[in-house]
Amino acid sequence: MTKPDTTYRELVDGAYSAAARASAAMLQHRFTNTNQAGESVAAYRDLLDAVHTHIRYLLPQARTRALEPPSVEPTAMPTASLLAHAASLLTERGRRSPAPPDLAALPEQVKHWRQAATKLRAAHDLLDTHRGPDFGWRTPDAWLLDHPQPQAAAADDLAGLLRTIAGAGQTLALRAREIDANIDCADILNPATLRLAAASLTHHAHSGNPIPAFDEVSPARAASRPHTDREPLRAATQAMSELRQRAWEHARSAHVSIRTISIYALLAITVHQHAAAITIAAAARDTYLGSDRRGPAAVARLQRSSQLSSAAAAAWRDVYGFCSGLQATTPTNADAYEQLLAVRDALESVTRSGDRWRPSAEILPSAVATHQLLTAIRQLVTPLEEISAWNRAAVGRLTEADQLYIPAADLDRAQISDDPILAAAHLSRKAVPLPRRQTSELLDAFAIADGATWEAVKAHAAANTSGQPARPALFAMRAMHRAAGRPAIGL
């Protein structure tokens, strides 16, 4: 059974390892009876079927039918034809079959090939948990499945797997024919076929600027699952993961609530405020300076991340102030607020004692504790960048649809005197659509807070002892799309 936090990379690596063990076993042992040979061929074909199914799942271009074999060099063929032909080569050779009940009594290569197929199908199923029944997106990571750069990286992995097992197929066919000439294995005798399929995948991968974002993806989990971790910071990280899912769902929903958006503004204030306090405490701690990153540069990075988190917290306070004065047409998400409180309580259990902040030496009693706390803070801060972008996009939708309202009594005298409709609403104590000036101020406040959050997230990634963000490949994807002016990618 796959663990809840197993990643796609771990499963693909497991398939690689099992396939390599099977290939090694194939070179070391000969068959003693027809059953052994037949089950080995069936296990090998089952693995080819798993590779073929995964290629078709990952790459839309491979789902088209290859009408005829290529008559030109692979690099000169259109990508879609190349991948479709690679898939067709595997279709002809791969056949899914159930594992025999007496697997333990069969040769090692049978067990290892079956294990490799199982691992690869588990990787396939892991990705599929991020899709709905209609093949649509159901999690914040689902957009990665339809992006060509992670697809290209995954295709390169499958090319490597095919190269690993290509030669073993030839050995398998020769040794199976030694036992029984009637065993159906002639089509796996020539390893060039699988190597051609691997070359097609590699060509596609290397022409697509691959980013291995699938490697960091874990199985999708329901946002309402109970908190099971008693350690405060791990519980906070778990709650933040749920808030990320809820924020994404809320930003995509037909009924966006400004009250729920204000909860995420409070979340940003809370996390950035604590991140600023913890990183400045780390900069001041002798235990941290005694680590393998001794020197003023490390301290400067921590100080910068603290300053930028403080600036982001201040920017989100402005946003929260704007949101608090607006009237909502959709109710608040109470579950999101409960999870916000869980994150706040977990952080305060580390940083505060009653009404006061704990001294640096109490927050960070050792170098190990400092490393663990900075890692946890990085994991908490990083999702704020996505949540910020999604909420900024959601507010943009609300303003475009004129779904934000403000009590007319809260408008200044100049606005009311210049507009008889606003004046009438003021006298009758009614709410009115948010005027253009306040709308512009609100959008500007969100833009400033979103930009400040992105700068803080980058600074915390650099200041962490690993020098990397929590999910480097996703971070690279996000950075690329922010640079292209698409920070809300994935909605």
- pLDDT at residue 223 tops 80: no
- What average pLDDT does the segment 6-19 reach? 96
Higher pLDDT, 68 or 390: 390
- pLDDT at residue 289 tops 70: no
Strand partners, 352: 357
Of all residues in the chain, the percent with pLDDT exceeding 90 is 59
pLDDT tens sequence across 141-159: 999 999 999 999 999 999 9
Q: Cβ of 414: how many Cβ atoms within 10 Å?
A: 9
Which residues neighbour 481 within 8 Å (Cβ) at sequence distance 6 or greater?
487, 489
Predicted local confidence at residue 466, as pLDDT: 65
- What average pLDDT does the segment 268-293 reach? 79
User: Which tokens hold the place of 456?
Assistant: 């803080």
The answer to whether residues 480 and 148 touch, using CB atoms and an 8 Å cutoff, is no
Q: Sign of the C-alpha dihedral, residues 46, 114, 84, 63?
A: positive
In which residue are the tokens 């490799």 written?
Answer: 116
- What average pLDDT does the segment 443-457 reach? 98
Which residues neighbour 203 within 8 Å (Cβ) at sequence distance 6 or greater?
74, 75, 79, 82
d(CA 83, CA 201): 7
d(CA 15, CA 65): 27
- What average pLDDT does the segment 285-313 reach? 78
Which ranges of 401-471 does DSSP label H, i.e. alpha helix? 413-418, 420-427, 436-463
pLDDT tens sequence across 175-199: 999 999 899 998 998 899 899 999 9
pTM to 2 decimal places: 0.89
276: region left, alpha or beta (phi > 0 left; psi from -120 to 50 alpha): alpha
pLDDT tens sequence across 391-401: 999 999 999 99
Predicted local confidence at residue 408, as pLDDT: 74
Predicted local confidence at residue 227, as pLDDT: 54
In which residue are the tokens 């040769």 written?
Answer: 107
d(CA 490, CA 137): 9
pLDDT tens sequence across 38-55: 999 999 999 999 999 999
Burial class (CB in 10 A: 0-12, 13-18, 19+), 333: buried
- What average pLDDT does the segment 233-238 reach? 90
What are the boundaries of each domain within the chain?
8-216, 232-483
Residue type, 151: Q
Q: What is the mean pLDDT of the chain?
A: 87
d(CA 354, CA 334): 26
What's the pLDDT band for 229 if we cut at 50, 70, 90? Answer: low
The answer to whether residues 282 and 387 touch, using CB atoms and an 8 Å cutoff, is no
**100-104, 133-137, 311-315, 437-441: least confident range:** 100-104
Phi and psi angles of residue 137, each rounded to the nearest 5 degrees, phi first: -80, 140
- pLDDT at residue 261 tops 50: yes
Predicted local confidence at residue 88, as pLDDT: 82
3-state SS class at 282:
helix
In which residue are the tokens 């065993």 written?
Answer: 183
Predicted local confidence at residue 231, as pLDDT: 82
Predicted local confidence at residue 299, as pLDDT: 86
3-state SS class at 43:
helix
Predicted local confidence at residue 339, as pLDDT: 94
The answer to whether residues 22 and 109 touch, using CB atoms and an 8 Å cutoff, is yes
**75-89, 243-257, 311-325: least confident range:** 75-89
The answer to whether residues 365 and 452 touch, using CB atoms and an 8 Å cutoff, is no
- pLDDT at residue 66 tops 80: no
- pLDDT at residue 294 tops 70: no
Higher pLDDT, 115 or 100: 115
d(CA 235, CA 274): 16
User: Which tokens hold the place of 167?
Assistant: 């030669």
Predicted local confidence at residue 425, as pLDDT: 62
Relative to beta strand 356-357, strand 405-407 is unpaired
Phi and psi angles of residue 407, each rounded to the nearest 5 degrees, phi first: -60, 130
- What average pLDDT does the segment 198-224 reach? 88
